[in-house]
Structure 1
Amino acid sequence: MKNFEPKKDLYPHLIAVFVFLIVTVVFYSPVFFENKELPQHDILQWKGSAQELAAHREQTGEEGLWTNSMFGGMPGYLVNVEFSGELTKNIQRLLSLYLPHPTGIILVAFISCYIMLLSFGVRSWIAIAGALAFGLTSFNIISIGAGHNAKVSAVAYMPLVLAGVHAAFTNRKFLGFILTALGLALQLRVNHLQITYYLLLMVLVYGLFELIQSIKAKTLPEFAKTVSVLVAAVLIAVGANFGKLWTTIEYGTYTMRGKSELTVDGVDAKSGLEKDYAFQYSNGIFEPLVMFIPNFFGGTSQQNLGKNSNLEQALKKQGANRQQIQQQVQAAPAYWGDQPLTAPYYAGAIVVFLFVLSLLVLDRKYTMWLWVLVLVSIVLSWGKNFESFNYLVFDYLPGYNKFRSVTFVIIIAVFSMILSGFVGLEKVLSSTWDKTLQKKFMIAIGIVGGFALLAAVLAGMGSYRGAIDERLASYPAWFLDALRADRASLLRVDAFRSLFFVLAAAAVIWFFAKNKLSKPLAYTLIIALVLIDMFGVDKRYLNGDNFVAATRSDFIASDADKRILKDTDPNYRVLNLMNPFNDAETSYFHKSVGGYHGAKMRRYQDLIEASISPEIAGVIENLQAGEFDFKDAEVLNMLNTKYLKAGETANAVIPNPAANGNAWFVRDVVEVNNTDDELMAMASIDSKLEAVVNVEEFVLGELGYDSTAQVNLTSYAPNKLTYQSNSDQSGLVVFSEIYYPKGWSATIDGQASEILRANYVLRALKVPSGSHEIVFEFRPQSYYTGNTVTWIFNVILVLSCVAYVVVSVRRQ
């Protein structure tokens, strides 16, 4: 039994957490000391899309599960749905020390990486430096600035899972079980499956190399035992998020990431995203060099070139005024890589140096998996710029075609370099400083420092022409020449900057090894250098200028919104003519035809491309010609688009008297036999009198028509709609509600009725003659059963953590 020694066993970890907390508070100082907040584009859009569900929860205390605020209607699972059984939410808050979101995300990343480095045998003081490098990588900071909080949160928990896996394979199975189960449960909770997919790739590569070592050492039974422990941990983590995963997977099959029901040239389409969409953002072949020199490709698509830049001087010579100069210089298109928009994912000059050093000093059989991950990550990030490999992976690697923006995969390289680099530094600091080690150390300096020096010296030799320059074709030659000179200057300055940090870190390690520096001073200098290196680059992308005074609400109803909101009809849709399919702000106040979300229903996207977008173009053309007749906009009318917004003033609201309303009886049914014909028929129907139905899927039977029949909406909630119908004949009623086959039920006077799909995306019912109450209700089993399973496994997870703490304390 080992005696507990606070100075050795507790104090270093408390100091580490204190350092992480101070760094977090300083980084987000405007939040903590100036009552400011960080406006995040994607979070602002999310708030707009989530408002209906949030309001329903506040008013009723229940989850709405379905929202009509975007794209006509969609499940709310990926918008704003809470599971009451998620006890891990409290653990997440504890790990972030209850800091306000999103400031606590990098604190979690610090702690998670610190635990991982300790698990790999790195001393606590060096682990602090590695954790700071991980939390402050510009991948995280740039993503937070854009509002990709879920992505960064998922990244933050990756080290915790790897710590558990490694602990299990190094004879600490109980600890490995707890860390893996807890880390994966927390990561799955934030629900960013793309980062979880990357984590899975990392664990599989690690496991493959462990298997190879096990076969060589003839210890397969022990390997199997460890795997079984980890499988149990994974099952608990999955169980703790069962409801969220079930609903997400269930819905995913009907989104753009699922299989299309349309055919391409007569052949059934494959599931997943289109290649052009998935690979829209792909690194150029040399672009991963920004992990070492952040401005290697000019930095961001809108970069502040600073005072005395070549562009500023050129503008002054041309007689530009101060305001014009400021506008051009502060948002210059400095980036000259292959992507339409980007910002550099910087891993750190010191991290890259330590990684190269680790390649020379660590035993390959234990670290080759990290080298493989770095290489594979870089190659995958090339995307369309390395088609021969990446298109093959996209077509045949299971699940890979569900994700876009393949540049995100570079986080695997950043993660692996940090892990390998600081494990390598631990090896250097723990080893005898003999001639062999000194030689390897100098080789690492020569490779990394030499490259930085070469990049600085040769910076003036590039063309500095990029994809973004196509948009600058109308600019004069003097402007482009000055801009390209600034791009070269940015590269040169950052190359010298990286060289400085490499040499500074190397000097600290050298003098420490030669006993010229004490341990406390050497550790402090390494931590300080890493912090200054990462902090300096991060503040280019997230600084005091990005924060604004905190407000009570991000949304203020415009005069146009106020005019529309005077309508007392409980359910109608609004079309914002200004970029409707990248806008969720409209959704805050209204039920929108458009929206902003990465997982639209595929059928709705089909309809956008085939009918809605052409109709919008036609409507705009008519409005410009002074015509306000919308009778030909059949799809917009069937979606009950009662108002159009052409601006934010009251007179920018355009009523649409041709909208079909909430529900209507149709006279005729256009019968089709496949999905292609179903979509094609939408281009030529009179949606008030006709409905398109795929009779291969739905049986209609005998139907009549009463021209005086009516169907009225009498009660509205996101998950429950009640109608009253009156008709002298039985007939087919079409509802301006989006059809979704999972979870919706319909009753007529309390009797279950089959929900049909009409007009490609809408619901329909066969309604008998007479007066009837029709109720639609959304109660998906995936949520209600999933919530129960979630609660059970959350309890198991928490009890397992408590048991580990109790056992550990008793051992001490």
Structure 2
Amino acid sequence: MAKINGFRNILINLGIILFFIVLSYAYLSPLLEGKVLRMDDIEHHKGMSKELVDYREKTGEEAVWTNSMFGGMPGYMISVVYPGNLGRYVAKPIRKIFSTASFLILYLIGFYVLLLSLKVNRWLSVAGAIAFAFSSYFLIILGAGHMSKANAIAWLAPVIAGVLLAFRGKPVAGTLLFAAAFSLELLSGHLQITYYGFLMIALLGLVELIFAIREKMLPAFFKSLLFLLAGAVIAIGMNFSRLYTSWEYSKETIRGPSELTSNSENKTSGLDKDYVVQWSYGIDETLTLLIPNFKGGGSLINPGVDSESFRALQSQGVQNPRQTIQAVSMYHGDQPGTSGPVYVGAIVIFLFVLGLFVLKGRIKWWLVSATVISIVLSWGGNIMWLTSFLLDYLPFYNKFRAPSMTLVIAELTIPLLGIIGLNDILAGKVDKKIWLNGLKWSFVITGGVSLLFAVMPGISGSFTNATDAMRFPEWLMDSVIADRKSMFRADAFRSFLFIALAAGALYLWQAKKIKTVPLVAVVGVLILVDLWAVDKRYLNNDNFVPSRQAENPFPITPVDQAILQDKDLYYRVLPLQNPFQDARTSYYHKDIGGYHAAKLRRYQELIGHHIQPEMQRMVAGLQAGSSIDSVFGQLPVINMLNARYIIFDLKQAPIRNPHPLGNAWFVSDFKMVGNADDEIKAMESFNPEQTAIVDQRFMQHVQGVTVAKDAAGSIELTEYQPNYLKYNYSAATEQFTVFSDIYYDKGWNAYIDGKPVSHFRVNYVLRALVVPAGNHTIEFKFEPKSYYTGNKVSYASSFLLLLAILGYAGVQVRKRKALLKDNGEDE
């Protein structure tokens, strides 16, 4: 009988997984037609990773460094394969088989596993998985192409499940689940989501500790904790190469401290405070959790042709009002812009409030505290006194931007608490009087708030934000407000209706008018209908394109063709259109700009202090009719970065810079400065062709050097790979040589005639060498020990986890055989 029941459970779970797959493809149905999502971030990723991918396909090796963005940067957070983590042989096939649907499938399965680990009814767990997976933000990020974020979110629930199992008397099984899920969580490569998961686990551990003290169960608590720490060590070990390289690199990026002392009150040991809080959720905007259009939805949502705004445009005689109406944004929240609201579902919020009335014990206090912290942290710049304190004192908090993202915690805890509470009610664990009282008040609170807003929308605010005056003329503003109010009222009534239906179904169940399984089905379907409809506002069939269109998101243009006629090994290109937020140029060329959230801090500072001002001077000079020679002769930083071509129009030939300094050159002088402030200031008026600016910390490299530029000498790049540069050098005397490549001492090594030599930094970001007289071969090789050593640790950790899982499985099989034998059943 035990064998039959076990086989039956396996079949049911496989059936549920099949249902999740079908449901995911039903939502993303264009995938079945061979179409793919058009995703901005994926397009950017293809641009930024092109050089790394091409090198991998050509050689079968990892370059680990790319010169296609920001003059050059490590590829750790772009496209680097970390072979030591064997978990990728699990993650990669899932993605390959199910494409974009894999993320939605993993959302569903992960939360289903979490609920089962808490012994929630199987069918209610299916409804809970739907409530979690179809939370609006989780679908919106798919449309935006935030795949590493989606992947990290998908593995959060199994990670939490492992921790809960370990603290519920199954330390070995829980730890193995935790280690496996946590290794895949880290493999996703989105450390911000992982950090928020760690905050949830830390809160859970604190609550467990408090209850262990109260219940005198400290030995069991510490046993589970030690097991989990061992699991964490294994998971971290499996990802050691990725984590080690990222940690090493992060200290040099905009997520590390700046050496500049200006604007110190805005600086932290990580990101600048104003940069961190740009995307902060409005305090009142939090009500989008209950009413999706509380702040007008997404920035690209417009009122349409059947609106007051459209009629106002027509009455003013605006030409082509159908096109103009598309620029009328319904969003009026505090963020600079948004793809859509964080909506967890009206019914889910209703169940969460109901859970507050019926649940008791540690699980309630953990989930409530995590939810509150998640919401408060999301306010970011709107409670700057708290955010500033946390940025200064909470470890690693200042490494991440966009406080609104902390709502991913609430998107997990809210449905989790609601479903657990409903499960206790259906299982008869809650006194009828208590849960009926909770039903009444949860309906009054959530349904009443929704209905109140539907009847009196004006109490929610002015339906405007700080940017409206700049976007809309005064004659249009009243119509825009009217449309926003109408949209809000409709959604508020919509939320009330769903809450009323769910509350009514629960009331009928207690009156024995409906049985438990049909009730669960009704609640599950209502949750799905609610969330599905809102999700389709932001991720629908219009987001899909034919696969051939997505394969190359950057069709070659006349300007690309013209530049690619230049067959020199290595030079750089500077686009004037959105140069530092677009990876299009990086797809074809070595770009001075690019698109990445973790660029080198020194390069970012160079952009702000010199590259952008020089670009402005360039444009002003060209518009004024000045000669190209005179304009480009006054751009020292752009010239030292070897910017040979300027793109100003994709359909026209590029501007060729007559003054780039090339791959390397000799200087006749150097200037010693005391610190970063002096170094970046000295570059306001210097000629990089003649002078190098050296920070005093590199004094030992130039002591005793007599700089005498050999006009007859030469240095020529003869071989180029992303991670390898080779030069032929010839000079009659020792030469102070500057290279137009980015200095990064955590992996770049210099060699003269095959022997390692020390190089140093000049001109804030470039490399330099003092090369002896004669004929020499100079090589630069990118050989980061953090990557290669880290992979060895990752391999060892992966095999350790694999052996632990196989060992545990073997023990369980033997136990099962012994149990069957004791019960008189055949194996």
TM bracket, shorter-chain basis: over 0.9
The range that moved more, 257-266 or 708-717, is 257-266
> How far off is 1:331 after superposition?
4.8
- 2:221 aligned partner: 223
> How far off is 1:8 after superposition?
5.1
- 2:471 aligned partner: 472
Please, which of 775, 791, 794 is the counterpart of residue 771 of structure 1? 775
> How far off is 1:25 after superposition?
0.4
The range that moved more, 222-231 or 552-561, is 552-561
1:644 aligns with 2:672: no
Instruction: State the alpha-carbon separation in 2 of the partners of residues 806 and 157 from structure 1.
Output: 26
Please, which of 738, 742, 745 is the counterpart of residue 738 of structure 1? 742
Instruction: State the alpha-carbon separation in 1 of the partners of residues 367 and 395 from structure 2.
Output: 22
Change (3 A) 1:645 1:95: closer
Alignment check: 8 A CA contact 2:111 2:158 kept:
yes
- 1:481 aligned partner: 478
SS of equivalent residue, structure 2 residue 294: coil
The range that moved more, 568-577 or 513-522, is 513-522
- 1:325 aligned partner: 321
Instruction: State the alpha-carbon separation in 2 of the partners of residues 96 and 738 from structure 1.
Output: 35
> How far off is 1:510 after superposition?
2.3
Q: Deviations over 1:756-787 (max 9, x none)?
A: 11111000011011111001001110011111
Change (3 A) 1:155 1:4: same
Instruction: State the alpha-carbon separation in 2 of the partners of residues 459 and 270 from structure 1.
Output: 41
> How far off is 1:379 after superposition?
0.9
| Runs of 5+ unmatched residues, structure 1 | none
Instruction: State the alpha-carbon separation in 2 of the partners of residues 171 and 395 from structure 1.
Output: 38
Change (3 A) 1:522 1:6: farther
- 1:340 aligned partner: 336
Alignment check: 8 A CA contact 1:333 1:468 kept:
no
> How far off is 1:85 after superposition?
2.0
> How far off is 1:579 after superposition?
1.2
Output aligned runs, 1:421-500, within 5 Å.
421-431=418-428, 434-461=432-459, 462-473=461-472, 475-477=473-475, 479-500=476-497
1:541 aligns with 2:542: no
1:54 aligns with 2:50: no
What percentage of residue pairs aligned between the two structures are identical?
A: 42
Alignment check: 8 A CA contact 1:96 1:107 kept:
no
- 2:501 aligned partner: 504
Alignment check: 8 A CA contact 1:340 1:467 kept:
no
- 2:512 aligned partner: 515
TM-score (norm. length: structure 1):
0.96
- 1:40 aligned partner: 39
- 1:584 aligned partner: 583
1:92 aligns with 2:88: no
Please, which of 705, 714, 724 is the counterpart of residue 702 of structure 1? 705
- 2:684 aligned partner: 683
Instruction: State the alpha-carbon separation in 2 of the partners of residues 542 and 607 from structure 1.
Output: 38
> How far off is 1:445 after superposition?
1.1
Alignment check: 8 A CA contact 1:453 1:499 kept:
yes
Change (3 A) 1:439 1:370: same
Change (3 A) 1:152 1:313: same
The one-letter code of the counterpart of 1:561 is D
> How far off is 1:15 after superposition?
2.6
Alignment check: 8 A CA contact 1:285 1:382 kept:
yes
- 1:373 aligned partner: 370
> How far off is 1:269 after superposition?
5.9
Alignment check: 8 A CA contact 2:268 2:392 kept:
no
1:259 aligns with 2:260: no
Q: Deviations over 1:75-124 (max 9, x none)?
A: 11111110122211122245568211x32111111111100011112111
| Runs of 5+ unmatched residues, structure 2 | 817-827
- 2:232 aligned partner: 234
Alignment check: 8 A CA contact 1:574 1:645 kept:
yes
Instruction: State the alpha-carbon separation in 1 of the partners of residues 801 and 97 from structure 2.
Output: 21
Alignment check: 8 A CA contact 2:266 2:274 kept:
no
> How far off is 1:491 after superposition?
1.1
- 1:410 aligned partner: 407
Question: In the comparison of the two structures, how many residue pairs are matched?
Answer: 805
Alignment check: 8 A CA contact 2:267 2:273 kept:
no
Output aligned runs, 1:17-416, within 5 Å.
17-33=17-33, 35-93=34-92, 98-100=97-99, 102-264=100-262, 270-320=268-318, 324-342=320-338, 343-416=340-413
The one-letter code of the counterpart of 2:675 is N
Q: Deviations over 1:221-279 (max 9, x none)?
A: 11110000000110111011000000000000000010111223799964111111100
Change (3 A) 1:336 1:270: closer
Alignment check: 8 A CA contact 1:262 1:269 kept:
no
> How far off is 1:307 after superposition?
5.0
- 1:15 aligned partner: 15
- 2:822 aligned partner: none
> How far off is 1:435 after superposition?
2.6
Alignment check: 8 A CA contact 2:268 2:398 kept:
no
- 2:802 aligned partner: 798
Instruction: State the alpha-carbon separation in 1 of the partners of residues 266 and 726 from structure 2.
Output: 38
The one-letter code of the counterpart of 2:14 is L
- 1:692 aligned partner: 693
Alignment check: 8 A CA contact 2:358 2:434 kept:
no
The one-letter code of the counterpart of 2:356 is L
The one-letter code of the counterpart of 1:539 is K
Instruction: State the alpha-carbon separation in 1 of the partners of residues 252 and 737 from structure 2.
Output: 24
Instruction: State the alpha-carbon separation in 1 of the partners of residues 305 and 696 from structure 2.
Output: 69
> How far off is 1:401 after superposition?
0.7
Instruction: State the alpha-carbon separation in 2 of the partners of residues 13 and 784 from structure 1.
Output: 41
> How far off is 1:557 after superposition?
1.3
Change (3 A) 1:649 1:330: closer
> How far off is 1:393 after superposition?
1.2
- 2:754 aligned partner: 750
The one-letter code of the counterpart of 1:498 is S
Instruction: State the alpha-carbon separation in 2 of the partners of residues 770 and 97 from structure 1.
Output: 54
SS of equivalent residue, structure 1 residue 541: coil
Q: Deviations over 1:182-237 (max 9, x none)?
A: 11100100111111110111000000000000001111111110000000110111
SS of equivalent residue, structure 2 residue 295: coil
> How far off is 1:139 after superposition?
1.1
Q: Deviations over 1:409-429 (max 9, x none)?
A: 011112110110100110111
Q: Deviations over 1:16-69 (max 9, x none)?
A: 212211111011111212x21111111101110100010111111110011000
The range that moved more, 74-83 or 10-19, is 10-19
Instruction: State the alpha-carbon separation in 2 of the partners of residues 288 and 784 from structure 1.
Output: 45
Change (3 A) 1:93 1:738: closer
Change (3 A) 1:266 1:213: closer
Instruction: State the alpha-carbon separation in 2 of the partners of residues 107 and 68 from structure 1.
Output: 36
Instruction: State the alpha-carbon separation in 2 of the partners of residues 794 and 509 from structure 1.
Output: 47
> How far off is 1:437 after superposition?
2.2
The one-letter code of the counterpart of 2:741 is E
Instruction: State the alpha-carbon separation in 2 of the partners of residues 506 and 268 from structure 1.
Output: 49
SS of equivalent residue, structure 1 residue 313: helix
Alignment check: 8 A CA contact 2:266 2:273 kept:
no
Change (3 A) 1:141 1:331: farther
Alignment check: 8 A CA contact 1:72 1:738 kept:
yes
C-alpha RMSD over aligned residues = 1.8
> How far off is 1:177 after superposition?
0.7
Instruction: State the alpha-carbon separation in 2 of the partners of residues 707 and 7 from structure 1.
Output: 83
Instruction: State the alpha-carbon separation in 1 of the partners of residues 754 and 546 from structure 2.
Output: 53
Change (3 A) 1:48 1:97: closer
Alignment check: 8 A CA contact 2:254 2:598 kept:
yes
SS of equivalent residue, structure 1 residue 10: helix
